[in-house]
Amino acid sequence: GENVEQHPSTLSVQEGDSAVIKCTYSDSASNYFPWYKQELGKRPQLIIDIRSNVGEKKDQRIAVTLNKTAKHFSLHITETQPEDSAVYFCAARASGSARQLTFGSGTQLTVLP
Amino acid sequence: KAGVTQTPRYLIKTRGQQVTLSCSPISGHRSVSWYQQTPGQGLQFLFEYFSETQRNKGNFPGRFSGRQFSNSRSEMNVSTLELGDSALYLCASSLGVAGIKREQYFGPGTRLTVT
């Protein structure tokens, strides 16, 4: 089955700096890669996703890049703000009714004011 | 449009008991997935239902079971509870299992504590 590895497990950045979280996946058939943000005590929220037919997607301060050849994808947050502090999860899924969404282990991002 | 709802939000049970958790997906969503979230193990996939059929199952013992009703609402049951079952149980809904409409949206979770 799919295995998703996520790094780093913790990340501290100064407010205004950029943050990058990286994930690798094992199943070459995976073609959908969402990112979730989970604030303390709250549900995971989908913040951005990318499909395998594109290499990069941006949404304001957030961007995701995908390298299918290397089987890795990354989340980039620019101009970080204290409210960006949360746990971020990457995930991967292949198409087909028998494929599940497999999550990475999460990254605790702390933005220092 | 209302989001995913889960009931109850909190539960305290003792070892050996059983528990049933409920999840109501976003209106129009036909797929419901269940996850167990613990500090040490992250988000672990339990199972996924689509049109009342279990489409996929994670690596959990048979004590964990689920079902989906014709209105897409889903229940999850855990029998013979163990201390290690203490966790946040999250459900997530999406329009479909395969194809393009596979974005999953999570409910607030049910916090289960087993004593």
Q: Compute the average pLDDT of residues A27-54.
A: 91
A43 touches chain B (CB under 8 A): yes
DSSP A84: G
**Rounded CA gap, A73 and A60, in Å?**
18
Q: Compute the average pLDDT of residues A44-63.
A: 92
Task: Find the CB nearest B55 among A34, A93, A97.
Answer: A97
**CB atoms near residue B10 (< 10 Å):** 9
Q: Compute the average pLDDT of residues A9-13.
A: 97
Is B43 in contact with A49 (Cβ distance < 8 A)? no
Is B107 in contact with A43 (Cβ distance < 8 A)? yes
Task: Find the CB nearest B105 among A46, A102, A104.
Answer: A46
Is A97 in contact with B97 (Cβ distance < 8 A)? yes
A9 touches chain B (CB under 8 A): no
**Rounded CA gap, B61 and B52, in Å?**
21
Closest CA to A64 of A93, A26, A36, A99: A36
pLDDT bin (cut points 50, 70, 90) of residue A75 is very high
Task: Find the CB nearest A43 among B56, B90, B99.
Answer: B90
pLDDT digits (tens, 9 = 90+) for B83-115: 999 999 999 998 876 555 678 899 999 999 999
Nearest CA distance, A108 vs chain B (angstrom): 12
Paired with B80 in beta bridges are: none
**Rounded CA gap, A106 and A45, in Å?**
13
Is A96 in contact with B104 (Cβ distance < 8 A)? no
Task: With beta carbons under 8 A apart, name residues in chain B contacting A39.
Answer: none
Higher pLDDT, A23 or B98: A23
Q: What is the pLDDT of residue A98?
A: 61
The percentage of residues in chain A with a pLDDT greater than 90, rounded to a whole number, is: 77
Q: In the predicted model, what is the mean pLDDT of chain A?
A: 93
Q: What is the pLDDT of residue A24?
A: 97
pLDDT bin (cut points 50, 70, 90) of residue A8 is very high
Indicate if the pLDDT at residue A100 is higher than 60: yes
In the structure encoding, which two tokens stand for residue B67, read together? Answer: 């079902």
Counted residue by residue, chain B has a size of 115
A52 touches chain B (CB under 8 A): no
Residues of chain B short of pLDDT 70, as ranges, are 1, 97-101
User: What sign for the dihedral angle of Cα A18, A23, A29, A35?
Assistant: negative
**Rounded CA gap, B49 and B47, in Å?**
7
**Least-confidence region, from A90-94, A102-106, B13-17, B75-79:** A90-94
Q: Compute the average pLDDT of residues A71-88.
A: 97
**Rounded CA gap, B67 and A27, in Å?**
28
Q: What is the pLDDT of residue B42?
A: 83
Indicate if the pLDDT at residue A96 is higher than 90: no
The percentage of residues in chain A with a pLDDT greater than 70, rounded to a whole number, is: 96
